[in-house]
Chains A and B, each alone.
Chain A
């Protein structure tokens, strides 16, 4: 790593565009909303920035903390499933021939160029009580049952459709569906052109595939895994459409609550406070991680 003072001109030419953009079009707009989080509603459209902490105090009530924790749990579960499902897919892309690689990448991405809402509708058509998933399972159930009767065994009872929709299962499934590429792409980016001789050596020395995967490939993919986890977990935490449409009566997530404050409740200060609590937590987590990795670097 280079100290910026050693090459100021280069540093300026690289850093100015992203920094300026971030300050001008992110920090400044968000700063306005940040001020709202210390404000009180006056009338319907005016917010008085009174410096109050009441919004934060309310946001930290057990009701909202509970929803927050539940959202963290659901987003965490989603992330883990995405990692397990996505890792082999990323490997497959990495190992594919150059001719096939673009097609695989596209194959993973293509479903996501369809609007999220209609994709979710389609997922609902698959999952609902009389949907395709239940129809298929029911059909197989009947066939199997017939087969058992044929073999002189007790037939299975009537098929009861599985409750695949309007519950937390559907929410996690929907979130995995939506966020899978957010995991696959960083993994692919980190693993592409990895040193295959390492894997060969490991296999030659008698390590199994699983062990090779865990002890050779996974560490190489570590930076990709970390960024994959971040860009899967964080957006999953902010998901509102999926829990709204696929969830049951108790599937609200923190983003649903935040959305309602900005819209129906018309309580921007409270919505801002809830949003910024989310951001403080992440900011601290990321800064902490960056600090630790920097310390580790220095020790080397």
Chain B
């Protein structure tokens, strides 16, 4: 866990902050990771009902999880949905944020309120709305993979992009418009000014928004359930369906593998990035 602790640079102001800041972040990470470690520990539990009582150590459930085709398909579906939803949500969400930040137009207050509504709707209400909507327009349910995930992805983008908008918009308030003006004065087109001045400023907002969208999409059960067809099981749907007869340690094993995979992929990505061009996010 010391891996995640910040190495505070020795600038004058951070210098003194080290102690309490590190302790605080350490405590928060402990709070976040204690249940996660429990979860991983239970993935080695030798009992069909994974998360209840410890019955001894086994690696079996990792093998079972990897052999469990339906579990792997569900995982693949969830990741596919989350990835596509995140990309589209970030684009749409960022556009919405720029629109609300930059322009004055009639009905703006209403638009702003409406953009926040997908955050507010109770999940079940949105799930039912989507169910009725897709049934009414006769959305086909027998498409081949990955198009069979279309309805789910549409629904996910709808509830993810307002989160991106919210975060990006609050980032934009600190933007210094004079920079953009200056760029344009120097002959930059609208697009160049956007790409070279506005976009870099938005970047932390986009990263945060993407992380939020990915998390929300990956974890959604209710809306997914109501928009899924007969051949589109996602990971959360699988897990919730297990509750009646107890969730098996295979699920814990699969989650642990996903965590490990994320860490490995991030390491590789950061290595590649730093080799290709210095620091990932310079000041």
Is this pair of chains taken from one and the same complex? Answer: yes
**Chain A interface mostly:** helix
A-contact bits for B39-57, CB 8 A (1 contact / 0 none)? 1001000000001100000
Q: How many residues of B contact A (CB 8 A)?
A: 116
Say whether B140 faces chain A, with CB atoms less than 8 Å apart.
no
Which of A8-16, A49-57, A138-146 binds B? A8-16
B270 touches A102 (CB 8 A): yes
Which of A59-67, A150-158, A163-171, A268-276 binds B? A268-276
Determine the chain B residues whose CB is within 8 A of the CB of A30 once the complex forms.
117, 121, 125-126, 129
Complex-state Cα separation, A223 to B98, whole angstroms: 15
Complex-state Cα separation, A26 to B223, whole angstroms: 13
By beta carbon, the residue of chain B nearest A283 is B113
Partner of B6, one of A22, A85, A104, A192: A104
Complex-state Cα separation, A89 to B24, whole angstroms: 7
Say whether B280 faces chain A, with CB atoms less than 8 Å apart.
yes
Partner of A14, one of B14, B24, B98, B259: B98
Q: A98-B280, A111-B33, A132-B38 are in contact. Are A28 and B110 (CB under 8 A)?
A: no
Q: A11-B99, A30-B129, A32-B132 are in contact. Are A125 and B120 (CB under 8 A)?
A: no
Determine the chain A residues whose CB is within 8 A of the CB of B214 once the complex forms.
113
Partner of B155, one of A18, A25, A85, A88: A25
Determine the chain A residues whose CB is within 8 A of the CB of B282 once the complex forms.
98
Complex-state Cα separation, A92 to B14, whole angstroms: 9
Say whether B76 faces chain A, with CB atoms less than 8 Å apart.
no
Q: A2-B102, A185-B212 are in contact. Are A278 and B166 (CB under 8 A)?
A: no
Say whether A159 faces chain B, with CB atoms less than 8 Å apart.
no
Partner of A114, one of B21, B127, B240, B259: B259
Determine the chain B residues whose CB is within 8 A of the CB of A211 once the complex forms.
none
B113 touches A122 (CB 8 A): no
Determine the chain B residues whose CB is within 8 A of the CB of A258 once the complex forms.
122, 124-125
B121-170 contacts to A, CB under 8 A, are: 121-130, 132-133, 136, 154-155, 157-158, 161, 163, 165-170
A27-B114, A92-B24, A238-B121 known, 19 other contacts, Cβ within 8 Å: A2-B104, A18-B96, A22-B158, A28-B133, A32-B136, A98-B279, A109-B211, A111-B36, A112-B215, A116-B221, A118-B239, A118-B251, A125-B51, A126-B35, A132-B38, A230-B116, A240-B124, A258-B125, A268-B128
Which are the 5 A-B pairs with shortest beta-carbon distances? A29-B133, A18-B96, A107-B4, A223-B170, A192-B204
- A sample of 10 inter-chain contacts (CB < 8 A) reads A11-B99, A30-B126, A98-B279, A98-B283, A106-B263, A113-B259, A115-B235, A118-B252, A118-B255, A259-B124
- Give residues in A with beta carbon < 8 Å to B: 1-4, 10-11, 14-15, 17-19, 21-22, 25-30, 32-33, 85-86, 88-89, 91-93, 95-119, 121-126, 132, 177, 180-182, 185-186, 188-190, 192-194, 196, 199-200, 203, 209, 220, 223-224, 226-228, 230-231, 234-235, 238, 240, 255, 258-259, 262-263, 268, 271-272, 275, 278-279, 282-284, 286-287, 290-291, 294
